Structure formats: structure tokens, C-alpha cells
């Protein structure tokens, strides 16, 4: 079976934004204009294609990223079938509690459309998503949406992109009119005006820039000014073209488009489009931009991985059907009809339904049952997938998010996706005996799907504790348990996921010796601990070979002369990690610790792996007690949007919550206040905010960092834990 679509005409893109910027509405327009859906579903009616979960439709938000395949012929190509492109689109959530969906989607996408609210501009989650896209080196085009809203300002929103995200953004379009007068857009590259006519704006009408076309005179002058800015930005991508331009020669349109594409793919230019998805204006031209400027799988560098058997050996795979098969599993989902689905992105080679794949993490082979191409929650069966495609597999039992699946003869392990740690937790218990067994299974399944959702047991009380990214996150988890797994549960109050850390250096010794006739146990280690230094990715790659880093933990092995045999080093590392799971101040997990194993001894007969693991655990607990341990708390980046008259009350209230006010700005008719506040002070904040502002203010909150808890607060936490 041959590939049904040329790779250069495939675009794997994501639509990302802050909550309520209009991602799902934009995606619905995309599906309508590309012919996937024959009517436009609206978020407020609960009828959208990509928000298909009951919880999404009830709340009017996106919770899980939905994958959709569609086809688009650019508006300027007419009916030329040779210009048709395939889009694999992922509509991601904007709410910070579901940030994992954005992070894992960006990892497997080649490009992204970042949607901004035309009134608010860049919002907190826009910054987080932009940072994730920077980490994944994903080329982006920007779409300033909602320009029909009262208070909309393209220039203000564009200025916030330059100010908070990147100086490399450049206007690709400017709007014709704003608010209720928003009629269309001017394309600054071609210097044409575009209007969107017909009931659903599906007829794109192109007009010359003239006053007769309904363009105000001052707008034409503005367009000419920004046109020159855009051309200057584009010619910077090629020295020869730039020299010609400086001599007065304007490059032709094909050269300009080629250079703009080169700049976008290299993340040197981020074109900014304008429109209103709800009012059906501008979306088709954004799709043209995806075709013209975002990369196909052939345009991105080969994917990099390591040889599972020789970890330091780098391997590269190109986007070609002829190379050995390699893919990354980026999402696990439970489908009520087919069971567990594993979403994966194919980087190289091909995969046929019924064949076997190799998982380097488990070192096992698994058989692929069926392969599906997903259209939100609908599916189409495929016999074979090719390089550059996104699909879902049925039948993989041991594959989890971030696993590589590959050809056994040519193994490769791709970089794993690093997910943020949960910041909030609550206790949960089944209501009845019958619910007990079902609850364990349900929580296990949900934790498989979502790497930011963790389940643990309190060793002292035996209670089940679930942890996640926020109150809404855990509320959705409990709701899904009830609806999908019919499990009724009693839920405790949300609690902060505190951490502990050390603030100075210390040394310790751990001995575990038990000898009582016959074979005994003997483990002996000497260690040094210090606060872990935070390095950049490049600096981490340059660390010595004897250094291993994981989330908040660094292990350095400097054992010389075999004083501890090599086979006991790994059990020591495991013992250190287990010792850090229970803190020395209040029992919270200890993080950001660097431990050096530098000496010890062993017994020819009595030494074993368990003895060294226990000795290591004892040593790290002792060392941490001596290293000035402190409690850490999650700090949240908070943004409150409020009418100006309530500003004094809100700033006073946030200051009383140990908040630090970082700045404020105009946001349409309102003020936006930015602050950093401890999560422990923010429970139930919405209720207080509503009563303070007559229900007219709103706020968003996302995790920023962990900070040391003040002594007075730490004492309260310690007492509460006892």
C-alpha cells in the first residue's frame, strides 16, 4: 500500500491560546471551511466537534486535545486540486489545569497557530504556551481574534506580543474597522483588501486598495507604512536579496514568500494575522498562511534519539518512509468503543496494522491491533501509516505517554516529554465496598492517560491521595470517575502539595548491618549532599558522565577503586530516591537535592542490593536533617481583570494573602492586575473576588515556581501535619 498523500503537502499543526481566546471557535470555522463539518458548532451551544466530552460541553471549555484531519486548497489557488493540502490539527485546551495537553501536543507538531483575544492581547496562559512552543522549537503564526468585540484593538494586542513574547513578530495583516465596524482585513504582503461575504463568510472577496473599495484613506497610508516594515523583515533572511533591496530593487512575490517561509520555519519571523472567528472573518487567510509558511514534516530537522543499548550514542531519523520505523506515543485515551487508544506521531518509516513494535523502555515487543485516524471522537480505520502522520493505535497494553515505539532491528529512544509536577492534592475514599475495587482501577486508568495526575497512598493513614494541577483538574477527574467508571467517592478538601528542600551542604554515613547466624545483610555508604544547581539544557548535556539528573534530583557517583561494587550503585541511587520521598521537616517530598556517593564498604558474603538500598535511604535522611531543610510552597502567577474602581480593594486583599503585586495595565475598559501569590492563600478566591467587585471581576491563575515558606507559616504547616 502506497502513501495516499505527498509529505510536502502535509501540515501537522496545533491551535493554542489562553482560555476563552477563541481556539475552539477558530477550529470549528476551519472544519467548516475545509468541508469536514457541514454546519458550524458554537461553544456556547455545546455543539462543537472537538469539544466532545460531556464535561467540555457543560463547562464551555476544552479539557482534552482533539485530533482532526482535514484538507484545504488555498483561496488564491481556485479549484487547482494539485494545491490541496492535508492538515492534521490538534485543538488544545487553554485552561492552565490541562496544560499537559498543550505540552505533549506541541512536542509532536510541526507548527502552531497561536490565537489571541483582540481585547486582552497576551494573557498568562498565552505566555506559558509560547514558552512550551519555544522549548519544542515549533514555528508559529499568530491570529489576533475577536476584533468584533467592544474594546478590541489590533495594535494593543500586537504590542503585547512584542512586549511579552517576541520582538520577531511582524504584522501580516491589519483589520479594516474594529468592534461592530470590523469588515475585513488588508494583506500587507500583496496590498489587497479582503472581505468575507455569504452567510458563513465562506466567500472571500479580494479588492484593490482604493477608497472605492471602502478603505478609509488613512488606512491605506498605514498599510503602506507596515508593508515596507514587513518587506524589510523578510529580506533580512537573505543577504543578497537585502543588498538588492537597499539598492532599490523590490523582490518579486515568489521570492518574498519563499524568504518569509524560511524565516518562519527558522523561528526568525512570527507573522500576525487579524480577524474574528465568531463573525467568520479572516480564518481562510490564516489557513493559507499555514500552507504557505508553516513547515511540512520534510522541512523540520531529523528527529534525534539515543541507542537504548548505548545511551550516549546519538541516532537521527529523517522524515522518510524508507527509514526504519520510529514514533513517539504522546497521549493515552480511553475510548468507550475500542478501549485504550495510544496516539502517536510517526517520525520515520511506516507501520502496518497487525505488525509488531518494540518499546525501548520496557524492552518488550507489542502487537498493533488496529490503526485509526481520528476526527475528534470519530475514527477511520487505516491499514498503514507513513512518516509524518499522526494516528492512534489499539492493542498496546504496556505503552504509556512519552514512550518511543520503533523497529526492533533498529531501536531508538526519543527524548521523553517532561511534565510539570502536581501542585494540589486531596484525599478520596470509595463510598461503598463495591466502589473500592472499581476506584483503584479507575484512578489507575486516569493516571495512565494524564501524566500530571498522580495517585498515592498515605503510609500512616492508608488513605488514597490524588494530586493534580488545580481544583478544576481534580474536579474533572472525580466527575469522570463517576460518569465513565460509575464510581461514587467521598472527596476531602483540596490541599497544597508542599515540598521540602535543603539550603546548605552536609555529609552523612549510612550503615545497615544485620548479622544473625548464616547469611546477613551489610550495606555501608558515605555521601555528601548540597542544593541542586539549576543548569540550562546545554549545560546539562556537558555534565560529567558520572552525573545523572531526574526531576529535582541529581546523583553523582565518585566511587573509586571498587570500594562499593558496581552492581550496588543502582540500588544506592534507588535508596536515595526513596529516602527523599518522605521529608525530614513535615514529611513532604524533598526536591532539588544533589547527592554524591563518594565512599563506603561492602562484605564479600553479606552485602546485597537490599542492604545498600536501605543504607542509602538512611544516609540521605540523616544528611538532609543536617543541611538546613526548609518547606517549599507553590507560588501562582495571578491575573485579575477588574473595573478600575475596585483596584484598591483587590490590591489590598492580595497583599493580605502574602501576594506581591508585579504590575497593572489597561485592558479595554478595565484594568488587569498581575501578582504572585501562594497557592495556599488562593482557595475559594473567586467567591471573595465576586463579593468585592459586584461580580464584575475575573481572574486566572497558573503555577509559577516553588518558594521557601516563611517561618511563621512553616510552623503552622508542621503542627497541622502532626
697 DSSP 8-state letter: -
Q: Which of 443, 463, 497 is the last residue before a domain boundary?
A: 497
The reported pLDDT for the residue numbered 457 is: 85
Q: Are residues 153 and 291 in the same domain?
A: yes
Residue 220 lies in a domain: yes
Domain extent for 674: 632-721
Residue 95 lies in a domain: yes
Per-residue pLDDT, averaged over 428-446, amounts to 85
Residue 419 lies in a domain: no
Q: Which of 497, 520, 553 is the last residue before a domain boundary?
A: 497
What's 430's domain CATH number?
3.30.70.870
Q: What does the pLDDT look like over 360-400, one tens digit per residue?
A: 988 899 998 888 886 655 677 889 999 988 888 888 888 88
Q: Are residues 140 and 286 in the same domain?
A: yes
The reported pLDDT for the residue numbered 440 is: 86
Per-residue pLDDT, averaged over 639-668, amounts to 90
Sheet order of strands, 390-394 included: 364-367, 356-359, 404-406, 326-335, 339-348, 390-394, 370-375, 378-382
Q: Are residues 450 and 533 in the same domain?
A: no
The C-alpha cell that represents 571 in the structure block: 540500588
Q: How far apart, in whole angstroms, are the C-alpha atoms of residue 153 and residue 442?
A: 47
Residue 254 lies in a domain: no
Confidence grade of residue 351 (pLDDT, cut at 50, 70, 90): very high
Flag whether 616 is marked binding.
no
Flag whether 93 is marked binding.
yes
Flag whether 83 is marked binding.
no
Flag whether 148 is marked binding.
yes
Q: Which of 467, 497, 527 is the last residue before a domain boundary?
A: 497
Q: Are residues 435 and 409 in the same domain?
A: no
3-class secondary-structure state, position 665:
strand
Query: Is pLDDT of 667 > 80?
Result: no
CA atoms in the 13 A half-sphere facing the CB of 711: 1
Among the listed residues 582, 617, 627, the one whose alpha carbon sits nearest the alpha carbon of residue 597 = 617
The C-alpha cell that represents 676 in the structure block: 504572585
Which residue bears the cell 513574547? 165
Q: Are residues 88 and 196 in the same domain?
A: yes
Flag whether 92 is marked binding.
yes
Residue 369: Cβ within 10 Å count? 13
Q: Are residues 616 and 637 in the same domain?
A: no
Flag whether 443 is marked binding.
no
Flag whether 22 is marked binding.
yes
Flag whether 61 is marked binding.
no
Flag whether 79 is marked binding.
no
Query: Is pLDDT of 86 > 70?
Result: yes
Note the pTM of the prediction, 2 decimals. 0.75
Q: Are residues 17 and 143 in the same domain?
A: yes
Q: Are residues 458 and 357 in the same domain?
A: no
Q: Are residues 53 and 194 in the same domain?
A: yes
Residue 240 lies in a domain: no
Which residue bears the cell 507573522? 271
Number of folded domains that form the chain: 5
Flag whether 19 is marked binding.
yes
The reported pLDDT for the residue numbered 275 is: 93
What's 547's domain CATH number?
3.30.230.10
The reported pLDDT for the residue numbered 41 is: 47
Residue 261 lies in a domain: no
Q: Are residues 130 and 157 in the same domain?
A: yes
The reported pLDDT for the residue numbered 598 is: 94
Query: Is pLDDT of 171 > 90?
Result: yes
The C-alpha cell that represents 591 in the structure block: 526536591
**CA–CA distance from 172 to each of 114, 242, 282, 285, 351 (Å)?**
14, 19, 12, 10, 40
What's 80's domain CATH number?
3.40.50.300
Q: How far apart, in whole angstroms, are the C-alpha atoms of residue 335 and residue 332?
A: 10
Q: How far apart, in whole angstroms, are the C-alpha atoms of residue 109 and residue 140?
A: 11
Q: What does the pLDDT look like over 568-626, one tens digit per residue?
A: 999 999 999 999 988 999 989 999 999 999 999 999 888 999 999 999 999 999 999 99
Of 44-58, 399-413, 427-441, 470-484, the least confident: 44-58
Q: CA 493 from chain center: how many Å?
A: 27
Residue 236 lies in a domain: no
Residue 143: Cβ within 10 Å count? 29
Q: Are residues 187 and 64 in the same domain?
A: yes
Q: How far apart, in whole angstroms, are the C-alpha atoms of residue 195 and residue 213?
A: 10
The DSSP line for 465-498 is EEEESSHHHHHHHHHHHHHHH---EEE---EE--
Q: What does the pLDDT look like over 481-537, one tens digit per residue?
A: 888 888 888 888 888 889 999 999 999 999 999 877 667 899 999 999 999 876 655
Confidence grade of residue 327 (pLDDT, cut at 50, 70, 90): very high
Which residue bears the cell 512552543? 133
Flag whether 599 is marked binding.
no
Flag whether 20 is marked binding.
yes
Per-residue pLDDT, averaged over 264-291, amounts to 94
Residue 243 lies in a domain: no
What's 646's domain CATH number?
3.30.70.240
581 DSSP 8-state letter: T
Flag whether 228 is marked binding.
no
Q: How far apart, in whole angstroms, are the C-alpha atoms of residue 157 and residue 648?
A: 26
What's 348's domain CATH number?
2.40.30.10
Q: Are residues 150 and 288 in the same domain?
A: yes
Confidence grade of residue 311 (pLDDT, cut at 50, 70, 90): low
Q: 76 or 527, which is more confident?
A: 527
Amino acid at each position: 500500500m502506497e502513501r495516499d498523500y505527498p509529505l510536502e503537502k502535509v501540515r501537522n499543526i496545533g491551535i493554542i491560546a489562553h482560555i476563552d481566546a477563541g481556539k475552539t471557535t477558530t477550529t470549528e470555522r476551519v472544519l467548516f471551511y475545509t468541508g469536514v463539518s457541514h454546519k458550524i458548532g458554537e461553544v456556547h451551544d455545546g455543539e462543537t466537534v472537538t469539544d466532545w466530552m460531556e464535561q467540555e460541553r457543560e463547562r464551555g471549555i476544552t479539557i482534552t486535545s482533539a485530533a482532526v484531519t482535514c484538507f484545504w486548497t488555498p483561496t488564491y489557488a481556485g479549484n487547482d486540486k494539485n494545491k490541496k493540502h492535508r492538515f492534521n490539527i490538534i485543538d488544545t485546551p487553554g485552561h492552565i489545569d490541562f496544560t499537559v495537553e498543550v505540552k505533549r501536543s506541541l512536542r509532536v507538531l510541526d507548527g502552531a497557530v497561536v490565537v489571541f483575544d483582540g481585547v486582552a492581547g497576551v494573557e498568562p496562559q498565552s505566555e506559558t504556551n509560547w514558552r512550551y512552543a519555544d522549548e519544542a522549537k515549533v514555528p508559529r503564526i499568530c491570529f489576533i481574534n475577536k476584533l468584533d468585540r467592544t474594546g478590541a484593538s489590533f495594535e494593543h494586542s500586537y504590542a503585547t506580543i512584542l512586549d511579552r513574547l517576541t520582538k520577531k513578530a511582524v504584522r501580516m495583516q491589519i483589520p479594516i474597522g474594529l468592534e461592530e465596524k470590523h469588515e475585513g482585513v488588508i494583506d500587507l504582503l500583496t496590498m489587497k483588501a479582503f472581505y468575507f461575504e455569504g452567510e458563513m463568510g465562506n466567500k472571500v472577496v479580494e479588492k484593490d486598495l482604493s477608497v472605492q473599495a471602502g478603505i478609509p484613506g488613512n488606512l491605506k497610508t498605514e498599510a503602506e507604512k507596515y508593508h515596507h516594515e514587513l518587506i524589510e523583515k523578510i529580506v533580512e533572511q537573505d543577504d543578497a536579496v537585502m543588498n538588492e533591496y537597499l539598492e532599490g530593487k523590490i523582490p518579486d512575490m515568489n521570492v518574498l514568500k519563499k524568504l518569509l517561509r524560511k524565516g518562519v520555519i527558522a523561528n526568525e519571523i512570527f507573522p500576525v494575522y487579524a480577524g474574528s472567528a465568531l463573525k467568520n472573518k479572516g480564518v481562510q487567510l490564516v489557513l493559507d498562511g499555514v500552507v504557505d509558511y508553516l513547515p511540512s514534516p520534510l522541512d523540520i530537522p531529523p528527529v534525534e534519539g539515543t541507542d537504548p543499548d548505548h545511551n550516549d550514542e546519538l541516532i537521527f531519523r529523517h522524515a522518510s518512509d524508507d527509514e526504519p520505523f520510529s514514533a513517539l506515543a504522546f497521549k493515552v485515551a480511553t475510548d468507550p468503543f475500542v478501549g485504550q487508544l495510544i496516539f502517536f506521531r510517526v517520525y520515520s518509516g511506516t507501520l502496518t496494522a497487525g505488525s509488531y513494535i518494540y518499546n525501548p523502555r520496557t524492552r518488550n515487543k507489542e502487537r498493533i491491533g488496529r490503526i485509526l485516524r481520528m476526527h475528534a471522537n470519530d475514527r477511520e480505520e487505516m491499514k498503514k501509516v507513513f512518516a509524518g502522520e499522526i494516528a492512534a493505535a489499539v492493542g498496546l497494553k504496556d505503552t504509556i505517554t512519552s514512550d518511543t515505539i520503533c523497529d526492533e532491528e533498529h531501536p531508538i529512544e526519543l527524548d521523553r516529554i517532561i511534565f510539570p509536577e502536581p501542585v494540589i492534592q486531596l484525599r478520596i475514599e470509595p463510598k461503598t465496598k463495591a466502589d473500592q475495587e472499581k476506584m483503584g482501577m479507575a484512578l489507575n486508568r486516569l493516571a495512565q492517560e494524564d501524566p500530571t495526575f498522580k495517585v498515592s497512598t498515605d503510609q500512616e493513614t492508608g488513605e488514597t491521595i490524588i494530586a493534580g494541577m488545580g481544583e478544576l483538574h481534580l474536579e474533572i477527574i472525580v466527575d469522570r470517575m463517576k460518569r465513565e467508571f460509575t464510581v461514587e467517592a467521598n472527596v476531602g478538601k483540596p490541599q497544597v502539595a508542599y515540598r521540602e528542600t535543603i539550603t546548605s551542604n552536609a555529609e552523612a554515613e549510612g550503615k545497615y548491618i544485620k548479622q544473625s547466624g548464616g547469611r546477613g545483610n551489610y550495606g555501608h555508604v558515605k555521601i555528601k549532599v548540597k542544593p541542586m544547581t539549576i543548569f540550562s539544557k546545554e549545560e546539562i548535556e556537558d555534565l560529567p558522565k558520572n552525573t545523572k539528573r531526574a526531576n529535582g534530583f541529581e546523583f553523582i557517583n565518585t566511587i573509586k577503586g571498587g570500594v562499593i561494587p558496581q552492581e550496588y550503585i543502582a540500588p544506592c541511587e534507588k535508596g536515595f530516591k526513596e529516602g527523599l520521598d518522605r521529608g525530614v521537616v513535615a514529611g513532604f517530598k524533598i526536591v532539588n537535592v544533589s547527592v554524591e556517593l563518594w565512599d563506603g564498604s561492602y562484605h564479600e558474603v553479606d552485602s546485597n542490593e537490599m542492604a545498600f538500598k536501605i543504607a542509602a535511604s538512611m544516609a540521605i535522611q540523616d544528611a538532609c536533617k543536617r543541611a538546613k531543610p526548609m518547606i517549599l510552597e507553590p507560588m501562582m502567577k495571578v491575573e485579575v481583570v477588574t473595573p478600575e474602581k475596585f483596584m484598591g480593594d483587590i490590591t489590598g486583599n492580595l497583599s493580605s494573602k502574602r501576594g506581591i503585586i508585579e504590575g497593572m495595565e489597561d485592558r479595554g475598559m478595565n484594568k488587569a492586575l498581575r501578582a504572585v501569590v501562594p497557592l495556599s492563600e488562593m482557595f475559594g478566591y473567586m467567591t471573595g473576588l465576586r463579593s468585592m467587585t459586584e461580580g464584575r471581576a475575573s481572574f486566572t491563575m497558573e503555577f509559577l515556581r516553588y518558594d521557601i515558606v516563611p517561618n511563621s507559616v512553616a510552623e503552622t504547616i508542621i503542627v497541622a501535619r502532626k
